[in-house]
Structure 1
Amino acid sequence: MKTYGLIGYPLSHSFSKKYFTEKFHNEGITDHQYELFPIADIKLLPDLLSENSSLCGLNVTIPHKVSVLCYLNEIDEAAEKIGAINCISIRNFEGESYLKGYNTDAYGFEESLKPLLGPQHTKALVFGDGGAAKAVKYVLEKLDIQYQVVVRTVAPDAILYAEITPEMLSSHKLLINTTPLGMSPNTDTFPDIDYRLVGKEHLAYDLVYNPLETAFLVKAAAGGAKTKNGLAMLHQQAEKAWAIWNK
């Protein structure tokens, strides 16, 4: 039996387990399983590996996307530039595990974003600056889209929500939420911007997928903006992980 899984903490909502369990069932893959491994401290990773010799691949979620880097034998070039990983391939050589890290968030985000972009989407406001934002910024740079990071507490190379001007909302027509704001069960939270200034030329993209329509997307859509949730990105990154594990 080949085992794949997700590490992070907490793991109360796991898209990955449901996705891969259904995939294995629908495709008649009977010798694979996908499990959840809620580890609060990344230092527990070596023990997890030694106790689960059938592990062939892991997805990584918060809070370990950066802290796991020091446990890897090799890092994919894109993941190294991003500075965060969410996928690990595991190979065993003579009883030793060889771990290579990847960032499939970037692939999933890029593939789901590109079909929605119009000529006016040359500048973006990125809400949040955590691990997910690293992948988003990498893709925006790749697509030659200028961006401004917006955070709630003072941070380098970022502005506060209170510093967003009307002119900025007018010129930055791509709005991307990388924070957990709006995620179940806190569905009444959202990035604190003036939604009266969001119009039909804007594209609002939320990495949150539960619920499918967050308060951020509802408020943006009310002004006529095009909206996109994080579900397609998740599907894309999951299939990319599957391709990596089966190289």
Structure 2
Amino acid sequence: MIINNDTILMGVIGNPIGHTLSPLMHNRAIERLGLNYVYLPFEVAPERLGDAVAAVRALNLRGINVTVPFKEAVIPYLDDISAEARACGAVNLIKNEHGRLTGYNTDGKGFRASLVDEGVSYIKRALFIGAGGAARSLAYELAISGVNRMDFLDIYLDKAQDIARFVGQFHNCVATGHGMSEELFSDLSQEADLIINCTPMGMFPHVESVPVSSLHKVSHNTVVYDLVYNPFTTRFIAMARARHLKTINGLSMLVHQGALALEILTGAKPPIGFMKEVVLNYYKKQ
């Protein structure tokens, strides 16, 4: 990759940001496509979020991905948001078009594509651990695809209830928000077809943490999905595998949502298979 006066800047903002594999994945894809772009990570203090968004205009970045904890908080700083981002109330991508910033959300479609990749088709009841921006995007996608029951657990009851009200707008989808507790998780997990960890628990460098301490009541037909992709096998995923449950980590969603974002920003068709290979090779070397 040669950086020159015509190189176009892109990036990702979040806090923390040290875990992200997006720069590796995107820069290798950019090189593969022969594009004159570079993709950089930016750790942003929460109180400087407005400054960071203003810098996208000031420095003429083509766009940035948005990760935790800014997917909802970034919206007031934008000029417009896509219909999907507006519907789910979260943004994971900002595109800069001549100083006009538009927010998009590729998380939901990336998540659905990852389920297809893993051969998961029948989901009627989903249980979410965490009720932040990522959970909202995924819940929206599941609701419009026909899932008719969702439960949300969060340490902040009001957040869980808020996302449940949002999902409840969709026809034939019953949603309930709960305060997080191990006992309630155990009870709800018995009926879930899909359990999704939408919290950062277990993410590098805090690899020993888990969102729940036990999966002993989870049905053997349940799919356990952890959005965390670094490390490749979280303790939560390891717990599910010990019970011989089907598991999916966040790698596939990372690749699919990233590919959609790259296409929005550059107009080029992303090499999805190559992007997944890049990330898998990274893990093989660890």
- TM-score, structure 2 as length reference: 0.78
Q: Which moved more, 1:147-156 or 1:208-217?
A: 147-156
Q: What are the Cα deviations for residues 134-184 of structure 1, in whole angstroms up to 9, with x where unaligned?
A: 111111211222210012343332242234265532211211000011112
CA separation in 1, counterparts of 2:259 and 2:211? 29
1:117 aligned residue: 120
- TM-score, structure 1 as length reference: 0.89
- State whether residues 164 and 193 of structure 1, in contact with CA within 8 Å, keep that contact through their aligned partners in structure 2: no
1:80 CA drift (Å): 0.4
Unaligned runs of 5+ in 1: none
CA separation in 2, counterparts of 1:23 and 1:69? 28
2:43 aligned residue: 38
Residue 104 in 1 paired to residue 117 in 2? Answer: no
1:147 aligned residue: 150
Identity rate of aligned residues, in percent?
32
2:239 aligned residue: 219
The one-letter code of the counterpart of 1:147 is M
- State whether residues 140 and 147 of structure 1, in contact with CA within 8 Å, keep that contact through their aligned partners in structure 2: no
CA separation in 2, counterparts of 1:137 and 1:65? 15
- State whether residues 74 and 100 of structure 1, in contact with CA within 8 Å, keep that contact through their aligned partners in structure 2: yes
2:272 aligned residue: none
1:193 CA drift (Å): 5.2
1:210 CA drift (Å): 0.7
Unaligned runs of 5+ in 2: 1-6, 162-176, 268-286
Look up the SS of the partner of 2:216 in the other structure. Answer: helix
Distance 1:129-1:46 versus aligned 2 partners, 3 A rule: closer
1:164 aligned residue: 184
* Superposed counterparts of 1:10-21, under 5 Å: 10-21=16-27
Show structure 1 runs of 4+ deviating over 4 A.
none
* Superposed counterparts of 1:42-57, under 5 Å: 42-53=49-60, 55-57=61-63
Task: Quote the RMSD (CA, aligned, Å).
Answer: 1.9
Look up the SS of the partner of 2:17 in the other structure. Answer: coil
- State whether residues 191 and 219 of structure 2, in contact with CA within 8 Å, keep that contact through their aligned partners in structure 1: no
CA separation in 2, counterparts of 1:126 and 1:215? 17
Count of matched residue pairs: 240
Residue 90 in 1 paired to residue 93 in 2? Answer: no
